[in-house]
Amino acid sequence: MRVLITGGAGFIGSHLVDFLLAKNYEIVVYDVLEPQVHGMNDRPPNYLAKNITFLKNDIRNKDILSESLKDIDAIIHLASMVGVGQSMYQIDKYVDVNILGTARLLDILVNKPNTIKKFVLASSMSTYGEGSYICENCEQVNPELRSVTQLERGEWELFCPICGKKAKPIPTNESKPQVCTSIYALNKKEQEKMCMLIGETYGINTTALRLFNVYGSRQALSNPYTGVCAIFSSRLLNGNRPIIYEDGNQMRDFVHVRDVCKAFYLSLTKRRAKNQIFNVGTGEAVSIKQIAETLARYINPEIKPIVSNKFRPGDIRHCFADISKISSELGYKADITFKEGIHELIEWVKLQQGKAKDKSDKAYTELKEKGLLK
């Protein structure tokens, strides 16, 4: 099997390369080496495996992209701009890379002769907006975003949209309506819809994976626009305090990158993945404060995170995965516990001392200037 991985030089992509090489796949990586992720580099990052074909090019370059599909059996489409906040003021760039880039790829599959038998897309939990909740009186409810006036009162938790009682977060499954609250999330939802539609229409076996918060080594520590573990780690390495929004008790589902690789592998190989969408997480909720405190304790114990009580309008409070669909259909299970995974990450982060620039003040200022941080 020859697999083309778009965005394969990035964090998830490079781990996927290693994972699939170990299963004897041949790999072609197609990646523009976006400077925000890779710095000003013409050559692939050192961590990227050498026994692959590497093509440095833009997903929007249709001719080159088309040539790169020669003799490819499967595509894993990861190439994306990935900053949620940044997507709200670089709308043109995000739509161009994420939507038009995906459109070009699908256009080739439909209109040019090719050997593609499988297509897997990295979608995102961000497409859900708020996660699912339960109310004592009304059972499962899907509250909308908290209003700015509620947030200004420091009332962080969600209320039942029917009876007004406090609602409790529960795991979110794939049937939850996708209520996108950023351009990035809308892009991912649109990618998903386009890929599933074209897949079904033309009989291309397609799978979309809604990844939750992926963490692990190689996540770009100098990219301040994405990845809370990477952002906190970079601040700690540079002697700065991690800044926690709200009260820090908001919960996410942190899934280790190797478990994510396994989900991609199952999507490539299992018949039941055909034309399906799956959550990929652990099913366990971890608070942002817990992440910040654990990282601080082991990376730079002199430093305490700041609980800022500031907020970003549009941020969700809680979202963690219900993974029963992927477990029962594909036999997926998250093998790496949070404790194991975070300590592995910490060991890697410590080795990056001196290499990781903390640019999060710039990202913070940009958000503030645009009124996206209150």
Ligand X SMILES: NC(=O)c1ccc[n+]([C@@H]2O[C@H](COP(=O)([O-])OP(=O)(O)OC[C@H]3O[C@@H](n4cnc5c(N)ncnc54)[C@H](O)[C@@H]3O)[C@@H](O)[C@H]2O)c1
Residues with a catalytic annotation lie at: 184
**Spatial distance between the Cα atoms of 330 and 146, rounded to a whole number of angstroms:** 35
Name which of 95 and 170 has its Cβ closer to Zn ion. 170
The footprint of Zn ion (CB under 5 A) covers: 135, 137-138, 160, 162-163, 165
Q: How far is CA 236 from the centre of its chain?
A: 22
Counting contacts by CB under 6 A, is residue 97 touching ligand X?
yes
Counting contacts by CB under 6 A, is residue 37 touching ligand X?
yes
Name which of 64 and 306 has its Cβ closer to ligand X. 64
Compute the least distance from the CB of residue 356 to ligand X, in Å: 14
- Quote the DSSP letter at residue 160: -
**Spatial distance between the Cα atoms of 256 and 216, rounded to a whole number of angstroms:** 6
Token pair in block for residue 16: 């996927």
Angle formed by the axes of helices 288-299 and 338-351, to 10°? 50
Question: Total binding residues for ligand X by CB under 6 A?
Answer: 30
Q: Nearest 10 degrees: CA dihedral of 153, 156, 161, 163?
A: -80
Compute the least distance from the CB of residue 136 to ligand X, in Å: 32
Of 373, 323, 319, which is closest to residue 126 (Cα–Cα)?
319
Counting contacts by CB under 6 A, is residue 213 touching ligand X?
yes
Point out which span in 52-60, 129-137, 327-335, 365-373 binds ligand X (CB under 6 A). 52-60
Instruction: Determine the 3-state secondary structure of 286 from DSSP.
Output: strand
What part of residues 105-164 is at the interface with ligand X (CB under 6 A)? 122, 124
Please choose which of ligand X, Zn ion, none residue 137 contacts, taking the beta carbon within 5 to 8 angstroms, the exact cut-off set by kind. Zn ion
Of 243, 241, 206, which is closest to residue 102 (Cα–Cα)?
206
Compute the least distance from the CB of residue 316 to Zn ion, in Å: 19
- The residues binding ligand X (CB under 6 A) are 7, 9-13, 31-34, 37-38, 58-60, 78-82, 97, 101, 122, 124, 188, 211, 213-214, 220, 227
